[in-house]
Amino acid sequence: MSTVSLLWVGDLNQDKRMANASMKISDERYRPKLIELKEGQKEIRIGRLNSTNPPHYLIESCINKRMISRNHATIERLANGGFMLYDHSMNGTYVNYMRVSGGVTLKHGDIVCFGHLNGANLKPGEDVTPFFSDLKYQVYIGSTRDAINSAANDASGERPSGNKRQRGASGGSLESPSSSRDKKGGSSKSGGRRRLEEDAVASEKSD
C-alpha cells in the first residue's frame, strides 16, 4: 500500500517584504516538515488549532494567523490507490498555483500551498500568479523513506519540474518569479533532510 507525503519547501524568506515575519523559530511547530497519509489511514485533516475536531497536522501561517481555517483541507485515500485533496477553507488550498475547486487528485511532484493573502477574493478553479509561502509543500507518492531520499537528491541536483502552470494567471500578493517554482527555497539542505528523518522516525513510533 502506497503513501503520500507532503514535504515542506517553504520559500517565504525569499520575499523581502516579509523578511520580518518569515521563518520565526516560534512558528516552527506550525510548519510541519512532513505531512503524511500513512499506510492504513483513510484520511488526514490539516488545519488551524481546533479543539472540537483537532487536525492530524496543525498549520498556521506567520503572515496572518487567520489565513488558515480550522478545518482547512483533508487528504483521502481512494479505492483505486490514488489520493484526493479536498479544500474546505476560506482562503483556499492551491495545487500548482490553482485554487482547488472541491477536490483534486494529487500527483507526484505537485506543489501544494495552504492559504493565500488574497484568497477570499480568488475563486475555486482560478489560477494565481506563483507566490512565496511559508506553507508550501511538494508531493511525493511512495514510502516516506523514498520521499526523503528523493528530496535529498533533488536538493543536491536539478529538481524535476512538477509544478506546472495551467493557464493565464490572476494577480495576487506575495508573488514570486516563475523560477522560484523550481527551487526549494527557505530550508537548509542537510538540516532539512535531518528534520525530515526525525519526523519520519517520530511518525513511525506513533503508529
CA distance 106 to 83: 6
Higher pLDDT, 49 or 195: 49
Helix axes 189-206, 144-156, angle to 10 degrees: 180
Q: Which CATH class is domain 4-206?
A: mainly beta
Starting from the edge strand earliest in sequence, which strands make up the sheet with 4-8, in order?
A: 34-37, 4-8, 136-141, 111-114, 93-95, 98-99
- Name the residue ranges covered by the structural domains of the chain: 4-206
For residue 7, which phi and psi values (nearest 5 degrees)?
-100, 130
Percent of the chain with pLDDT over 90: 54
pLDDT tens-digit map of 35-77: 999 999 999 999 999 888 899 999 999 888 899 999 999 999 9
CA distance 66 to 63: 9
Query: What's the pLDDT band for 193 if we cut at 50, 70, 90?
Result: low
Which residues share a beta bridge with 76?
Answer: 43, 84
